[in-house]
Chain A
Amino acid sequence: MRFKVTHTTRYRYKTPASESYAELRVWPQNGPTQKILSHKLEISPAVPVDHYTDYFGNKVEYFSIPFRHSELSVNAVGEVETREGPDLTHVLETPVGDARQILASQPIGIFDFIQNTELVPFHRIQNEESLPRFRDAETLGEAVHGLNTWIYKNFAYSPGSTDIGTPLPTVLETHQGVCQDFAHLMLAVLRMQGIPARYVSGYIEPYDPTKPGQEMTGAAASHAWVEVYLPGGYWYGLDPTNNQAAGLRHVRVASGRDYNDVAPMRGAYKGAQDQRLQVIVTLKRRRPRKTASTR
């Protein structure tokens, strides 16, 4: 499927900021499940943009605005074609016990994805009895999908109830959150059981123009989900917010240990006292079918 993605971030400062500096992670990457057809970044006020590839393979763009400005807007526009990834049915049939053994002798590359991190401090919820535990005999597929469904069923999606600073134990206690919280929770449960997993930021097509009435959750903002590391070196995407595997309607942008590694925009500014932030994300199918164009 082809999508046009626009991701606009706008800061308005009450009194002008004298300098701003920011790093962006809004550039989708080529991978087994998608191909990037174009990417464009517009910054206002216009300043030169530089980029590099980070430790986790994400493309990072950065810029600085060294003069007074009362508004800063960053507009990333890209075209992406999503594809079916490799068929992992066989790998998912590996029993959890076997998988653990294989993973234990894995290379150093996955070390980062079984650790406690600032936003995935699984040591803090390790003793929670309500959390699903994987049995050695069940297949990896059953286990991770079971976890996916468990989160979907037991936690209410309620935008505004949490922000990125909400700690994991609070999410567990209140049984509500947004996609970021669900992704972090899922990472915690996976990692505490020795299954490596990473955080994925991206976008989701909120509704299928061919099937009205089946809206997905997580629309109108950046979406987040999880990828589980499978024996053989595959990464398998799971979206606990929508109780499904990541598919053609998921556009990946960046991945890392937790949200901190993939924050779409991280910046600092000087001088201004007060700022207002506005983020608008749109995702549109290209060459939409008739049903879509009537909307």
Chain B
Amino acid sequence: MTAARKKRKYAHFKAANSPRDELTHPAAGEASPYAPVLEIIESLSPVELHERQDRLERSARDVGIHFGVVEEGKPREADWRLDVLPRIIPRDEWELLRKGILQRARAFDAFIRDMHGGQDILRQRALPHGVALGDPAFQRPLTTVEVPGGEYCHIGAFDLVRGEDGMWRVLENHMATSFGLSFVMQNRRMLAQAFPELFQSMDISPVAPFITQFSENLRAASGQSNPHIVLLTRGETNQAYFDESFLARQLGIAMVRPADLLIREGKVFLKTIRGLEQVDVIYRRLASAAIDPIAFAESGLPGIPGIVNCVRNGTVRFVNALGCGVADNRALLRFSRQLIGFYLQEHAILDSVPTFNCGDRDQFDYILSNKDEMVLKPIQDSYTLFRYLGGKQLPEKRSHLIRLARKWPHLFVAQPYLHPSQLPCYASDGFKSHSVYLRVFFQLGEKPSVLPGGLTRQSWGSHRDNPLTIMSEGMKDTWVPAQPFEYASTPGTVTLNPDEYSISSRLAEGLYWTGRYLERMQNTARQLNILETLRWDQLGRAAQRSYWPLWKAVAAANGQSGWSKRKSPPKDTLSLTRALVLQANEPASILSSATAAYMGAQHIRDSISPEVWQVLSEFYWFLQDAARQPKTSRTRLREICQRIVDDAARLAGTADRTMLHDDSWQFFRIGSFVERAQGTATVVREVLSWVMANRAEGNNDEADLTSLLRLLTSLDAYRREFRSRAYLERVVNLLLQNACNPSSVSHCLRQLRYAIGTLSVTDRVNAPTTLDETVDKIIARVESLPLQRLMPSSVRELDHGVQESAAAPRPEMKFILESLTRELELLHERLEDTFFSHQTEFYPDRQLPLDWQPDE
């Protein structure tokens, strides 16, 4: 090759001149495996190359938007960076790597089994016992839980680096929960779309069959023909969550969080709005320590109480089995050679990178005197070390890490800075060399296999003090040339059936409560605004008396029994208003309702449109700010109430236009109708009981019915319907029975009934049907109440009026309204039982029916 030709050949790569660069400095005497790929890249002009990288970035952005993370309440695009130049691992090098990975996986799997069984390796002193027994991931309770077939690790990964000497070494084990598999799939797909010519340059081993095989392995793990498999996630919106949601889709399984699962009679169930579905296999993505707060009390983490005993009884199986974390203990790295020898009686093909254990006094001294050339790492992730870190994330600063290591030496290791091999990575001004790390995925089981290729990650800096996140600094597609016969097996496809599972109870419940709290917040705000407009402090005593029942009603609807029981009006109501608007420890205050709605919505963030979230967080922060001001004035309180009424309307409109009107949407609506019906019924009950008590005492005071109608946004409806001044019986009729009045109990129940009817739960046995019937019954009762008889009109010409002396509401009205409010509370319990907690499914007879039909 002439010098001129060589120069032209590496035109794009002239800045990638690190002596550690695999591409520009192939080992002496070897042909570069990159030659075919380089041929294609070199045929492009700088502009064309730039355009290819742009194309990649665009498709990465699409993925990022699709799985946008949320940080501090603001959606942020994911930082998905994929380089145009793939990494290529020559076939013979890969073969050795593959064998080494399988060997190591089998040996560490045997170690997991041994630690939970006889602990032979410790008894025979082939490993210092403190290293294994001092690992917080070694959970004593799991030693008494049998794992079928002793198959602990089904799927895992190793992080590897290729040294300057061309040798591959293992940096970390990931045998408990290995992240990043879906990134491999995504990267391959994206590069193929943006740069299809590259793929014509060589035959590459496909990556998709690995997932197909995993899907089969998951099914096989259950020992059943049609198992119910779920992916258990912590559910935080982070990079791992991307990975999980990809995988769940690719595997066609539901993604659940601990709160979605329920233990009944020794079995695990997934709560869905269609009822309980028994779960057979759980593909877990969280540490064992975070699985069961009863079994692992010392971890201090929440989880699913009692699930370990379900595993013990064999009714459910985890993949990977609980306890696999012991293989990820970084303090074991320096013993990997011994471990492989002990369990397999083989020489290790792959070594670990040099690792020093702080738990060993001499090694710790060495680490401390060389601390500027080493990375200090905990032996496990921060969830497993939760208790030792005081419930915090691992500190980033080296000095803080050293302080922790001095406190808990056996929990820390150090690895000298590595000099991994490098590869050119494209930036806008051409290729530059960067260090690359490789994560390789494997599966054990009947047919152990290694995913050809893996996740190559780039690192900008020269040294790494912090662990690499999955994709922080960019990735490369990783190619292993296919063996000629390999193409006979075409990449398998994974069947997707996203419709198989209905929405989870947790999601439904979250939306239901968000709906309820928002409705409650809005009602309280509107009512206080109206009542405060009356300028209580400037009212005469008589006027105060006529408004007092309304205050009492609002207080009662908000759980303020102290105020609602008060017979005579107080001098001023400002303190009550203050409490109900901005007091955080007042369960029914506007602030509390908004907070509950906001916090609840956070947990179901992925089901709420960003627009709705925007409005919700705006008024949440507005209220938080307002609550910080001392001594809020009456005028200010009214402003706050007005703003909340407006914002609630804005939110309802935004939700209606931006959210999918599916099952989850219906739960949002169901929540607000339940709340509104209860609110109306309570206010009517309170006002009526005041009127009746007042009349019984012979007082002539009347409640201000016009204001009552305004409180329940029914004044205009009343005027249109009756075109008269407000009469009590007509008001009650409008608020209870008029299905066209959006505030009436009848309207809310009919809407609720409709919403339940639209839920896609019809193929499920009886549960919703009986709920339908329950709602139908309440509607019928409310609408058939003989109000004319129960509350005779005092005006003869109107509504079959009677003599004024006989016009008082009949005493049974009080009982009827009390029963109605109670029935509406029970309706909430029925909804809860049917869709959220599934009480009825196991013990239906424990639900007590209630009868409140008035005597005829």
Interface residues of A, Cβ cutoff 8 Å to B = 18-19, 21-23, 48, 50, 52-56, 62, 64, 66-68, 107-108, 111-112, 115, 117-118, 123, 260-261, 263, 266-268, 270-271
- Would you call B305 and A67 a contact (CB within 8 A)? no
Q: B119-141, CB under 8 A of A: which get 1 and which 0?
A: 10011000001100110000011
- Inter-subunit contact B306/A21 (CB<8 Å): yes
Q: Return B592 CB to nearest CB of chain A, in Å.
A: 15
- Point out the residue from A48, A66, A107, A117 that lies within 8 Å of B298, measured CB to CB: A117
> Does B266 touch A at the CB level, under 8 Å?
yes
Query: For B309, what are the chain A residues with a Cβ–Cβ distance below 8 Å?
Result: 23, 50, 52, 62
Given known pairs A111-B133, A117-B298, A123-B407, the reply for A53 and B264 (CB within 8 Å) is no
Residues of A within 8 A of B266 (CB): 50, 64
Cα distance, A55 to B298, chains bound together (Å): 14
| Inter-chain contact A268/B294, CB cutoff 8 Å | yes
- Give the docked Cα–Cα distance between A111 and B359 (Å): 15
In the assembled complex, the Cα of A56 lies from the Cα of B143 at a distance in Å of: 10
We find that the number of chain B residues with CB closer than 8 angstroms to chain A is 33
- Are A107 and B294 in contact (CB-based, < 8 A)? no
- Contact A67/B297 with A21-B306, A50-B266, A118-B387 known, Cβ cut-off 8 Å: no
Q: Are the CB atoms of B140 and A56 closer together than 8 Å?
A: yes
- CB nearest to B840 among chain A residues: A67
Q: How far apart sit A64 and B263, CA to CA, in the bound complex (Å)? A: 8
Contacts of A53 in B (CB 8 A): 144
What's the Cα separation between A53 and B843 when bound, in Å?
A: 31
| B249 contacts A by Cβ under 8 Å | no
**CB neighbours of B262 from chain A (8 A):** 19, 66
Residue of A nearest to B313 (CB): A50
A56–B842 Cα distance when bound, in Å, is 35
On whether A55 and B294 interact (CB within 8 A), knowing A50-B266, A64-B265, A118-B387, the answer reads: no
Closest to B142 in A: A55
Q: Which of B252-280 contact A (CB under 8 A)?
A: 262-266
**Whole-angstrom distance between the Cβ of B4 and the nearest chain A Cβ:** 69
Tell me if B312 counts as interface (CB < 8 A to partner A): yes
Q: With A21-B263, A64-B265, A67-B846 as known contacts, state yes or no: A112 contacts B294, CB within 8 Å.
A: no
Alpha-carbon distance A154/B305, docked complex (angstroms): 40
* A188 CA to B312 CA, complexed, in Å: 33
A6 CB to nearest chain B CB (Å): 24
Tell me, rounded to whole Å, the shortest Cβ–Cβ distance linking B405 to chain A.
Answer: 13
Name B144's contact: one of A23, A52, A66, A261 (CB within 8 Å): A52
For the complex, give the distance between the alpha carbons of A107 and B122 in Å: 9
Query: In the bound complex, what is the Cα–Cα distance between A267 and B313 (angstroms)?
Result: 19
Contacts of B119 in A (CB 8 A): 108
Residue-by-residue, is B771-791 near A (CB-CB < 8 Å gives 1, otherwise 0)?
000000000000000000000
CB of A68 within 8 A of CB of B294, answer no
Report B-chain residues with C-beta under 8 Å of the C-beta of A270: 837
- The reply to whether the CB of B293 lies closer than 8 angstroms to some CB of chain A is yes
Expressed in whole angstroms, the minimum distance between the Cβ of B264 and any Cβ of chain A is: 5
Instruction: Tell me which of A48, A54, A55, A115 contacts B134 (CB under 8 A).
Output: A115
Q: Are A263 and B144 in contact (CB under 8 A)?
A: no
User: In whole angstroms, how far apart are the Cα atoms of A99 and B850 in the complex?
Assistant: 72
Q: How far is the CB of B816 from chain A (nearest CB, A)?
A: 26
Contacts A55-B141, A55-B143 given; 14 further ones with Cβ under 8 A? A18-B837, A21-B305, A22-B294, A23-B294, A52-B312, A53-B144, A54-B140, A62-B306, A64-B266, A68-B839, A267-B294, A268-B293, A268-B305, A270-B837
| Also in contact, A108 and B140, with CB within 8 A (given A64-B264, A66-B265) | no
Contacts of A107 in B (CB 8 A): 123
Q: Which residues of B contact A23 (CB under 8 A)?
A: 294-295, 309
Interface of A is mostly: mixed
Instruction: Tell whether, in the assembled complex, residue A66 and residue B842 are in contact, meaning their CB atoms are under 8 Å apart.
Output: yes
- When distances are taken between beta carbons in the complex, the residues of chain A under 8 Å from B263 are 19, 21, 64, 66
Contact of B129 among A19, A56, A108 (CB under 8 A): A108
| Cα of A66 to Cα of B263 in the assembled complex, Å | 8
B111 CB to closest chain A CB (Å) equals 15
What separation, in Å, do the CA atoms of A261 and B133 have in the docked complex?
A: 16
Whether A54 contacts B129 by the Cβ 8 Å rule is no
Complex Cα gap A68–B830 (Å): 13
Question: In the complex, which of the residues A18, A22, A56 has the most CB atoms of chain B within 10 Å of its own CB atom?
Answer: A18
Q: Which residue of B lies closest to A48 (CB)?
A: B265
Residues in B whose Cβ lies below 8 Å from that of A18: 837, 839
**Docked pose: A54 CA to B143 CA in angstroms:** 8
Chain A residues, Cβ within 8 Å of B122: 108
Q: How far is the CA of A68 from the CA of B829 in the complex (A)?
A: 11
Separation in Å of the B279 CB from the closest CB of chain A?
Answer: 15
Tell me if B842 and A67 are in contact (CB < 8 A). yes
> Are A66's CB and B294's CB within 8 A?
no
B294 touches A266 (CB 8 A): yes
The 4 A-B pairs with the shortest beta carbon distances in the complex, nearest first, are A268-B305, A55-B140, A21-B306, A21-B305
Q: In the bound complex, do residue A260 and residue B298 qualify as a contact, i.e. CB atoms below 8 Å apart?
A: yes
CB of A21, distance to nearest CB on chain B (Å) = 4
Chosen A-B contacts, 27 in total, with CB atoms closer than 8 Å, are A21-B294, A22-B294, A48-B265, A50-B266, A50-B313, A52-B144, A54-B140, A55-B140, A62-B294, A62-B309, A64-B265, A64-B266, A64-B306, A66-B265, A66-B842, A67-B842, A67-B843, A68-B846, A108-B119, A108-B129, A111-B134, A118-B298, A123-B407, A261-B140, A266-B297, A267-B294, A270-B837
- Can you list, as one digit per residue, whether each of B817-845 has a CB less than 8 Å from chain A (1) or not (0)? 00000000000000000000101001100
- The complex places the Cα of A50 from the Cα of B141 at a distance, in Å, of 16
**Chain B's nearest CB lies how many Å from the CB of A2?**
31
Chain B residues with CB under 8 A of A22 = 294
Residues of A within 8 A of B297 (CB): 260, 263, 266
Q: Judge whether B133 and A108 touch: CB under 8 Å.
A: yes
CB distance from A265 to the nearest CB of B (A): 10
Q: Given the complex, which residues of A lie within 8 Å of B843, measured CB to CB?
A: 66-67
